[in-house]
Amino acid sequence: MALLRGSLRLSKSVFGASRFQSRLLASVKDASNVGFVGLGNMGAPMAANLAKFGHRMVVYDRDPFRASEFTKVFNGAVTAETPSEVAANCRIVISMLPGPNEVREVCLDPDNGLFVEARSRSVFIDSSTIEPATAKELSAALATRNSNALFIDAPVSGGVPGAVNRTLTFMAGCSEETLSPLESLFMCMGKRAISCGDVGSGQVAKVCNNLILGISMTAVSEAMSLAKRLGMEAQPLTDIVNCSSGRCWSSDTYHPVPNVMENVPSSNGYDKGFACDLMLKDLGIAIKEAKRVEAQAPLGLLTAALFKSMSEKGAGKKDFSGIYHYYYQKEDVKKQRPDSENDKKDLASEGSAS
Name the CA radius of gyration of the chain, rounded: 21
DSSP state of 9: P
Q: What is the DSSP string of 332-343?
A: THHHH---SHHH
DSSP-derived letter for residue 82 is: S
Give the distance, in angstroms, between the CA of residue 88 and the centroid of all CA atoms in the same chain.
25
Distance of alpha carbon 152 from alpha carbon 139, whole angstroms: 8
CB-based contact 28:182 (threshold 8 Å)? yes
Residue 232 CB neighbour total at 10 angstroms? 13
61: enclosing H helix or E strand: none
The DSSP secondary structure of 235-302, one letter per residue, reads HHHHHHHTTSTT--HHHHTS-SSTTSSSSSGGGGTT-SSSBHHHHHHHHHHHHHHHHHTT---HHHHH
DSSP symbol at 232: -
Q: Which residues contact 154 (CB under 8 A, 6 or more apart)?
A: 125, 126, 127, 170, 171, 172, 173, 174, 186, 193, 202
The answer to whether 28 and 92 are in contact (CB under 8 A) is yes
How many residues in the chain?
Answer: 354
206 in active site? yes
From the candidates 12, 72, 191, 206, which is the catalytic residue? 206
Q: How far is CA 34 from CA 6, 59, 113, 131, in A?
A: 8, 8, 17, 25
State the catalytic residues: 206
